[in-house]
Amino acid sequence: MSCSFSFHLSGRFAQPLLAAVLTKVTPLLNDAGFDPDAVDCSLRGEFPDLDLDLRVPGTVDRALEQALGVRAYDALRPLTQDYKTVNVTVHGVP
């Protein structure tokens, strides 16, 4: 799976986070008929705050949006325990 990343964090820190997220959300994307290679991810933040945006190419219903958000957060949680705030946003891009 490839994904375009833009982040304001050191690449050494961001890469494992993004890899963990993509591993968790890929099965959901495949099951919903989306091409995981077309997903765009942005990871931004400055300690102690972190924001992840997932942009999925197409219309995403509320159930899938929530499921992707939960999986993404679940992937981030063990790697970001020292962060005060971790926000995950999922957008469908028609």
Q: Residue 55: pLDDT above 50?
A: yes
In the DSSP assignment, the letter for residue 40 is: E
Which of these, 90, 88, 93, lies nearest to 17 by C-alpha position?
A: 88
The domain in which residue 52 lies consists of 4-93
pTM: predicted TM-score of the whole model, two decimal places? 0.85
Question: How many structural domains are present in the chain?
Answer: 1
What local confidence, expressed as pLDDT, does residue 44 receive? 83
Q: Which amino acid makes up residue 35? A: D
d(CA 28, CA 36): 9
Here the CATH number for the domain that contains residue 13 is 3.30.300.20
Across residues 40-69, what is the average pLDDT?
A: 91
Judge whether 71 and 25 are in contact, CB under 8 Å: yes
What local confidence, expressed as pLDDT, does residue 75 receive? 95
Q: Residue 28: pLDDT above 60?
A: yes
The chain-wide mean pLDDT, for the chain, equals 86
